[in-house]
Amino acid sequence: MLPLNFNIEKEIEGELGRAGTLETPHGIIPTPAFVTVGTKGTVKALSMEDVKNTGADVVLANTYHLYLQPGDERIKKFGGLHRFMNWNGPLMTDSGGFQVFSLGAAYGKALNKVVSVTDPSQLIPERSSESDVPRLATIGSDGVSFRSHIDGSLHYITPEKSIEIQHNLGADIIFAFDECTSPTETVQYQDEALERTHRWAQKSLEYHKSKPNSEFQGLFGIVQGGREENLRKESALKIAEMKTPAGEGFDGFGIGGSFAKEDMSTAVKWVNEVLPNDKPRHLLGIGEQEDLFMGVENGVDLFDCVAPTRRARGGTLYTHEGTINIGNTRFIDATGPIDPQCGCSTCRTYSLGYLSHLYRSHEMLASTLGSIHNLYFIINLVKKMRQAILDGNFKEFKESFLKQYLD
């Protein structure tokens, strides 16, 4: 019995991109698709009904955070994460591997997983008081020790422990435990980390397939390797060929780790040219509009990113003509919607002037209405990409949208 069934309906001529369907135990995901991030079993400021009304097909929750609070065993007693958070559609959980980066190399620093090679300061670890902040995650050969950001308690996560937690949470798609490396790390360290990630992937795969949960949960292996072509291709090949003693492999693949903004498309293409064509691919933590087009064109089926809701809470809203900052005084008396081309409930119901008032007054409703809009915008942009692939005009749609958006 296969937990996932992936079918390709149409491909972009001359490119790696494709439109398809991913069937899970809790429903079908038309791909490519944007995955809504609900880190702690909730999409901040939104109810699950709000999320569903944006057109979301799938939600991703965070293994590390749910393990610490309220606890995966407690969630299991509630019947799993689907019931606990009242989401009856497809659900994903990450492995906790990103916290190796965010609580380790990136902790206490202004360091992101995507950097610009045209800004040398982003490629050199900062030597300041900030960089001396003690890390909350320490990497060992068999796993990672974490200090809880909540109460300082010590926890040790191994590949087997990560999978066990994800089994208790009960998502349709889960991920192998990996090390998400910093973009500032040396090639030598990237190589060492890659060996660890591959070792952990094998352990994750064998542990998962040895349990009855594997009949109901698809496991994705994660490709790492940073910005290095040889490491990326090596990782893609290794993860693609990885099997249990019984001959069982991963049900799909995640593309993780750090990227340089300028060559992200090249790195994604390196990987997807190697990965098998008949299994789904997920680009982890990427969600800017131009990056979504790049990913789709280069064979990515799923994306997740906190950017739409995080930016909405800060007052940055998407439109077809670029982003706007609702704090700008020109919106105080604006009677129109955020974006006349948008069909979300916020744009259908409320004016920019009202939203300006909510944000300026620090009303909770501001985050709700802004998040509804940004999520709807991104989710449905990727749906339009999918339709453009089916219609055979993806490149024309890409050029038209980005010209309007970036000009």
Residue 151 annotated among the catalytic residues of the structure: no
Q: Which of 50, 57, 72, 94 is catalytic?
A: 94
CA proximity to 355, closest of 341, 342, 371: 371
The alpha helices in 38-85, defined as continuous H runs, are: 48-53, 63-68, 72-77, 81-85
| Chain position carrying tokens 């809009």 | 373
Q: Are 114 and 184 in contact (CB under 8 A)?
A: no
Q: How many angstroms separate the CA atoms of 389 and 367, rounded?
A: 33
Q: Are 100 and 144 in contact (CB under 8 A)?
A: yes
Structure tokens at 95: 């492995």
Distance of CA 213 to the CA centre of its chain: 23
Give 331's contacts (C-beta < 8 A, 6+ positions apart): 324, 352, 353, 355, 356
Q: Which of 72, 301, 304, 339 is catalytic?
A: 304
Give 113's contacts (C-beta < 8 A, 6+ positions apart): 101, 180, 182, 183, 257, 258, 259, 285
Q: How many angstroms separate the CA atoms of 134 and 146, rounded?
A: 12
Residue 304 annotated among the catalytic residues of the structure: yes
Query: Which element (helix H / strand E) includes 37?
Result: strand 33-37
Structure tokens at 194: 């890659």
Structure tokens at 10: 């149409």
Structure tokens at 358: 């909510």
Distance of CA 299 to the CA centre of its chain: 16
Burial letters 27-39, b for 16+ CB under 10 A, else e: eebbbbbbbbbbb
The phi-psi region of residue 220 (left if phi > 0; otherwise alpha if psi is between -120 and 50; otherwise beta) is: beta
The DSSP string of 272-336 is HHHS-TTS-EEETT---HHHHHHHHHTT--EEE-SHHHHHHHTTEE--TT--EETTSGGGTT--S
Q: Are 316 and 47 in contact (CB under 8 A)?
A: no
Count other C-beta atoms under 10 Å from residue 180's C-beta: 27
Active site residues: 94, 304
